[in-house]
């Protein structure tokens, strides 16, 4: 009896020891679903908290929480000195922001839409972009101009322009155009920390779209370097290069084409100026075909610049067919919905252009 009891106790000890040694499976933390709006809000909040020189100004950014609710909760947290409502006078408050940047602060100047930045383009170009050069490097202008850019829905010709090519034309500015939530957060944080003026082009139709956000991207230390593109999908037959909302269209088109045996490599530019030409060239050397996709007008656009840079560089000799551009139609944006839909690139337009390029 005593021997059997001792045996039972020994086996019990071994069982407990085995349980204590067992390594339970730990899965990676699930990525959170975060909308582009909330990602931008996180970036603003974290940078306002990190650096007391940072402040946000623009129409309805404070008490109303922003026209698109991007600055939701920030006025209550940081008060009137850091979150400043302005009159409807873009030239006036943009000039104030540029002056504040010259005086050592780090303003974030919000335009309710970049169409209204035309009221302030003298301040953006002549005051902000050129001062560092004209002062021989003595006077930096650390400022971010941000707001929705490009076509929205049903707002017609005066509120539907893409300003990527307009601002990317000007030396002295950095121009950023994020697509998803990680882009929005990481690039906005880098833009706020940047010592040069940055034009940060958001998209109104993307604000409410949720994307998976990795644990790394949810960290307060997460940034994405300005000037570096990202390959969103690997492919071997054709390269699709795009920015902002149309990156999603390219991925959707690539999924359809994959069912037909056509593998598209999709590049998210992220930054328009400085442009990551090396990533584009490396992809073209692999796929031998290139299609550019943008929402702006064709003449002197982002796609036109990519065409020229590829032609002037080493990737030109690898092309098996001419580069094809998919762009907005070369007209002011119509108001009627059916005309509007036919004025901006659709997934079917990208599919058609890929097949045309590949001569399928």
Looking at the structure, tell me whether residues 347 and 296 fall in a common domain.
yes
The whole-number pLDDT of residue 31 equals: 75
Q: What is the CATH number of the domain that holds 308?
A: 3.40.50.920
Looking at the structure, tell me whether residues 348 and 251 fall in a common domain.
yes
The angle at the Cα of 35, spanning 34 to 41, to the nearest 5 degrees, equals: 95
Looking at the structure, tell me whether residues 344 and 286 fall in a common domain.
yes
Looking at the structure, tell me whether residues 214 and 235 fall in a common domain.
no
The angle at the Cα of 162, spanning 161 to 166, to the nearest 5 degrees, equals: 110
| 184 belongs to a structural domain | yes
The whole-number pLDDT of residue 19 equals: 41
Ranges in the chain, pLDDT < 50: 1, 5, 8-9, 13-24
Distance CA 60, CA 165 (A): 27
Q: Are the beta carbons of 159 and 332 closer than 8 angstroms? A: no
Query: Which residues are paired to 293 by β-bridges?
Result: 242, 326
Which domain-ending residue is among 218, 249, 282?
218
Domain count, the chain: 2
Q: How many residues does the chain have?
A: 360
Please pick, among 60, 159, 194, 263, the residue that the annotation labels catalytic.
159
| 151 belongs to a structural domain | yes
Write a three-state SS string for 247-277: HHHHHHHHHHHHCCCCCEEEEECCEEECCCH
The whole-number pLDDT of residue 15 equals: 46
Distance CA 232, CA 235 (A): 10
The whole-number pLDDT of residue 236 equals: 97
The whole-number pLDDT of residue 277 equals: 98
Give the residue from 85, 63, 86, 151 showing the smallest Cα distance to 114: 151
Query: CA quadruple 184, 266, 245, 123: dihedral positive or negative?
Result: positive
Q: Which structure tokens are listed for 5?
A: 């009891």
Looking at the structure, tell me whether residues 238 and 188 fall in a common domain.
no
| 260: containing domain | 230-358
pLDDT digits (tens, 9 = 90+) for 163-188: 999 999 999 999 999 999 999 999 99
| 108 belongs to a structural domain | yes
Distance CA 188, CA 178 (A): 9
Q: What is the CATH number of the domain that holds 46?
A: 3.40.50.970
Query: Which residues are paired to 266 by β-bridges?
Result: 233, 240
Per 3-state DSSP, the chain is made up of helix, strand and coil in percentages (nearest 5) of: 45, 15, 40
Please pick, among 46, 47, 59, 90, the residue that the annotation labels catalytic.
90
The whole-number pLDDT of residue 26 equals: 54
Looking at the structure, tell me whether residues 44 and 104 fall in a common domain.
yes
Distance CA 294, CA 144 (A): 23
The whole-number pLDDT of residue 204 equals: 95
Looking at the structure, tell me whether residues 120 and 205 fall in a common domain.
yes
Looking at the structure, tell me whether residues 206 and 178 fall in a common domain.
yes
Ranges of H-type helices in the chain: 2-21, 36-50, 74-78, 90-102, 121-122, 130-134, 164-168, 181-193, 246-258, 277-287, 302-312, 337-341, 347-358
Looking at the structure, tell me whether residues 94 and 187 fall in a common domain.
yes
Looking at the structure, tell me whether residues 288 and 160 fall in a common domain.
no
Determine the straight-line distance between the first and last CA of the chain, rounded to whole angstroms.
85
Which domain-ending residue is among 151, 184, 218?
218
Looking at the structure, tell me whether residues 253 and 180 fall in a common domain.
no
pLDDT digits (tens, 9 = 90+) for 322-355: 999 999 999 999 999 999 999 999 999 999 999 9
Active site residue 90: yes
Active site residue 159: yes
């Amino acid at each position: 009896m005593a021997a059997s009891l001792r045996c039972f106790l020994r086996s019990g000890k071994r069982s407990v020891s085995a349980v204590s040694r067992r390594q339970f499976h730990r899965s990676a933390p699930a990525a959170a679903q975060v909308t582009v709006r909330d990602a931008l809000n996180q970036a603003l909040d974290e940078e306002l908290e990190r650096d007391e020189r940072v402040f946000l100004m623009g129409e309805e950014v404070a008490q109303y929480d922003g026209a698109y609710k991007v600055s939701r909760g920030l006025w209550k947290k940081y008060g009137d000195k850091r979150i400043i409502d302005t009159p409807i006078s873009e030239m006036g408050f943009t000039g104030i922001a540029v002056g504040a940047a010259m005086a050592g602060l780090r303003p974030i100047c919000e335009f309710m839409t970049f169409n209204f930045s035309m009221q302030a383009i003298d301040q953006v170009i002549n005051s902000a972009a050129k001062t560092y050069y004209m002062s021989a490097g003595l006077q930096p202008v650390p400022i971010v101009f941000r707001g929705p850019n490009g076509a929205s829905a049903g707002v017609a010709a005066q509120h539907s322009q893409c300003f990527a090519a307009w601002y990317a034309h000007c030396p002295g500015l950095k121009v950023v155009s994020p697509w998803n939530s990680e882009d929005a957060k990481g690039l906005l944080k880098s833009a706020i920390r940047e010592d040069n003026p940055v034009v940060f082009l958001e998209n109104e139709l993307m604000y409410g779209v949720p994307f998976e956000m990795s644990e790394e991207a949810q960290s307060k230390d997460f940034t994405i370097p300005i000037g570096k593109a990202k390959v969103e999908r690997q492919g071997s037959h054709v390269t699709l290069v795009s920015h902002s909302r149309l990156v999603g269209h390219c991925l959707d088109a690539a999924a359809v084409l994959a069912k037909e045996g056509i593998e598209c490599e999709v590049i998210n530019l992220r930054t328009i100026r400085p442009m990551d030409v090396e990533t584009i060239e490396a992809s073209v050397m692999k796929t031998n075909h290139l299609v550019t996709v943008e929402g702006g007008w064709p003449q002197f656009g982002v796609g036109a610049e990519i065409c020229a840079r590829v032609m002037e560089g080493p990737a030109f000799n690898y092309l098996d067919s001419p580069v094809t551009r998919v762009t907005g139609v070369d007209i002011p944006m119509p108001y009627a919905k059916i005309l509007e839909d036919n004025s901006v690139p659709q997934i079917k337009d990208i599919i058609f252009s890929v097949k045309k390029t590949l001569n399928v």
